[in-house]
Amino acid sequence: MRIAPERRVAVIGPSGAGKSTLLALVAGFLAPEAGRLLWQGVDITQEPPGARPVAMIFQEGNLFPHLSVYENVALGVNPALKLGAGEKARVMRALERVSLGGMEARKPAQLSGGQQSRAALARALVQDRPILALDEPFAALGPALKVEMLDLVREIADERRATVLMVSHDPQDARRFAEEVIVVAEGHAAPPRETAEIFADPPEALRDYLGG
């Protein structure tokens, strides 16, 4: 399978099909039993997550409740929270970009669900990696907030010319956000296809998932 750079790709399929496993393999949290993972022609199969070109946002957001919003985002720069002036400015710029400027001293419990999602996104941004992997981080949000976050991620991805892999259970997310779609079913990930094309002529696995 090859994923073109600077594309927004949705990964869809039924629960338990292997969508999150695929992202974990790309990010380095799981090791493949066979095959290789290449980035720009370089084999990164054995590289640990921190050495890969991937920033990942999990469904839970993984914000630490005892840390401020600023500190949670700064973890993406340095886990020891020892930042130079330029790195501190980078954190503040990321907070501004996701509309959390002025909220850096708050704790996660003082944020709404949408604001917590924005903080998790800001932490991914400060890692400044060319691939953004989203494992349903907006699943718990209401429809309007989810659309707002998807639009924000799309804007940021386009600004940064990033490649995005987004797991979703909602086909509408794929239609709204993704240029291409990977269908995962029974542990098999099909090569990406253009979004409009795949929904116009869905493969059997996608038809079964959509119920059509």
pLDDT over 70 percentage in the chain: 99
Residue 148 has pLDDT above 70, yes or no: yes
Alpha-carbon distance of 105 to 178, in angstroms, equals 34
Q: Are residues 153 and 134 in the same domain?
A: yes
pLDDT at residue 212 tops 60: no
Residues 206 and 133 in one domain: yes
- Residue 203: pLDDT over 80: yes
Residue 10 lies in a domain: yes
Q: Are residues 120 and 146 in the same domain?
A: no
pLDDT, average across residues 59-65: 85
- What pLDDT band is residue 141 in, cutting at 50, 70 and 90? confident
| Buried-exposed string 132-146: b where 16+ CB fall within 10 A, e elsewhere | bbbbbbbeebeeebb
Q: For residue 59, is it within any domain?
A: no
Please report the pLDDT score of residue 193 as a whole number. Answer: 95
Verify that 91 and 162 share a domain, yes or no: no
Q: Please, what is the average pLDDT of the chain?
A: 92
Total-model pTM: 0.89
**Average confidence (pLDDT) over 173-195:** 93
What's the whole-number mean pLDDT along residues 130-149? 91
Q: Express each pLDDT in 158-181 by its tens digit.
A: 999 999 999 998 889 999 999 999
Between residues 187 and 43, the one the model is more confident about: 43
Give mean pLDDT, residues 15-31.
92
Residue 129: pLDDT band with limits 50, 70, 90: very high
What angle, rounded to 10 degrees, do the helices at 143-160 and 113-127 form?
10
Residue 29's identity, in one-letter code, is F
Q: Is the pLDDT of residue 74 over 80?
A: yes
Residue 159 lies in a domain: yes
Task: Give yes or no: residues 27 and 122 share one domain.
Answer: no
**Structural domain of 198:** 1-53+129-212
pLDDT of residue 86: 95
Would you list the DSSP string of the chain? ----TT-EEEEE--TTSSHHHHHHHHHTSS--SS---EETTEE-TT--GGGSSEEEE-TT----TTS-HHHHHHTTT-TT----HHHHHHHHHHHHHTT-TT-TTS-GGGS-HHHHHHHHHHHHHHH--SEEEEESTTTTS-HHHHHHHHHHHHHHHHHHT-EEEEEES-HHHHHHH-SEEEEEETTEEPPPEEHHHHHHS--HHHHHHHT-
The pLDDT of residue 187 is: 86
Top pLDDT among 133 and 210 is at: 133
The predicted model gives 10-34 an average pLDDT of 92
For residue 204, what pLDDT is reported? 87
If one counts the domains in the chain, the total is: 2
